Structure 1
């Protein structure tokens, strides 16, 4: 009987100890989660290969980035303003300003990422001079990239534009080869190469379509006038001073990410935060 009572006492003590240990483990886990903050980041296409390594580094600082991938240029800012995202990284300054104006938006830039020249590609010709009268040339159709694509065609000597601040095909004043300029959704420009003589393609779209930069028949020249086309990390105006967001920007603007940008985009894209635009 005495032995039985001793066993009961020992059993009760073990139960108390186990319960205490369990509480400590749970508390420890709770503290770990409490110190980790999760933020949703909207990105486009191939940029996941830049942001995933960055997310791994930030996780050590207690910042957990959840990457949300988009395949169009229209949704990420809407998701930002609705609160579905905390920050996004897909657009340039020019696009952001135009989007805010058209949508009465409050999106603001909090840091530069990279500058990516547009390129003219073709499956049918090797040089711009081989374009014939009446040939079709596709360009991105969203307002910002249509304007930029037309400027690239002008830079290449194929057309001339008026002095509008945001060009459309209606603003072409000279088109000696009578090129048929066809605006398409930006993501479709690369796929249009089977149907057109040439296409102006955004760099991220080219990357996703496995178009290498070397075969391009023309590359946009980057100079001081290219600054509006620097890509950015953005958030809403009310959150622009968020300290954690600033930590994300600081972690992005490093030699590690600059090297990663060069690797992912095969040398076709340049880190913008220390780029010399002269």
Structure 2
């Protein structure tokens, strides 16, 4: 397949999967529950944080988190008392547990009170065309308040060569406006041209089979390699190809 044919093939698959039907089987349905920007941000961030493992269980546990926050996540984050955090006792998703969600709630309040919110704290500088430094700085801010060491593993750091799949997925949800009602496009101060493909086992394997990724590990170096090609295919909206790669891997067993 030539580069032109590959580009056309992936464009076709984007159209196939980047439509509202995608929402019903994906954790992106969680931020779609809310009309208020801050509610969608917090809901999306928490859903993306636990987005590994069985997709049905991810969605179930993300809905459970919203219920525990009274289905008003921003109001809960900003107004909670320490006693309110006891309601998370017993919550667990794989290695993410009640102690972790309690820190996440405290940290999110710190971000909204002292750092102008998630949109501001994750925005790259004007000199940067990617999110590597922004995600690294975000993690430093996220853990600037007292925390348990165990919670550190739930926020990745691309400067340690992590592909940061879950944060990149969250960024896609918030930044990209796909005109079809899937990605929310709430963060107009960010550019979709700077986004990264959320690299996981499915998208990575498909990318290798298509010859657009040679590195074997799913790490930041692999993400840079993949991004280089996807940005040639569409410089303004490269991460739209996440739908093609993921759809081919998960739904078509490519």
TM-score under structure 1 length normalisation: 0.24
User: Which of 1 and 2 has higher RCO (CA within 8 Å, sep 6+)?
Assistant: 1
| TM-score normalised to structure 2 length | 0.25
- Relative to its length, the structure with more strand (as a share) is 1
Please identify the structure whose Cα radius of gyration is greater. Answer: 1
